């Protein structure tokens, strides 16, 4: 998995992931989300358009992000989910918790 981020404004950032979000690589995302929270970011948008697969540890990393940014859907947004991720969210009930968007531009613009 490759991870990069850019600051959108003083308290907002966009995190772009590419590659499978699974196993030990989910720990990398968790560490990055913790770091961003400590830096004072209040809103994080995750671009998942290039993430072909999310496993249970990857889902755990996303839940950590949700908790870190105030447990409010508008503060932790997910964009570009593929069919596997949407199915995972539907089966686990997380589609009711996470705020998801078809495209990153849509998530950033709201």
Give the domain 2-109 fold: Transcription Regulator spoIIAA (3.30.750)
List of residues 6+ apart from 100 with CB closer than 8 A: 77, 78, 79, 81, 86, 89
Answering whether pTM is above 0.85, one says yes
What average pLDDT does the segment 37-52 reach? 94
Residue 52 confidence (pLDDT): 93
Mean pLDDT score across all residues of the chain:
91
Tens-digit pLDDT profile for residues 77-106: 999 999 989 998 899 998 888 889 999 999
Give the DSSP H or E segment for 7: strand 2-9
Number of H helices, E strands in the chain: 4, 5
pLDDT(2) > 90: no
């Amino acid at each position: 998995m490759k991870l990069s981020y850019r600051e959108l404004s003083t308290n907002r950032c966009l995190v772009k992931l590419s590659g499978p979000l699974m196993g030990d690589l989910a720990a990398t995302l968790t560490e990055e989300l913790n770091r961003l929270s400590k830096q004072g970011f209040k809103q994080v948008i995750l671009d998942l358009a290039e993430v072909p697969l999310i496993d249970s540890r990857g889902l755990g990393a996303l839940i950590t992000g949700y908790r870190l940014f105030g447990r409010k859907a508008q503060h932790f947004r997910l964009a570009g989910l593929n069919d596997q991720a949407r199915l995972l969210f539907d089966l686990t009930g997380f589609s009711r918790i996470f705020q998801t968007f078809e495209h990153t531009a849509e998530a950033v613009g709201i």
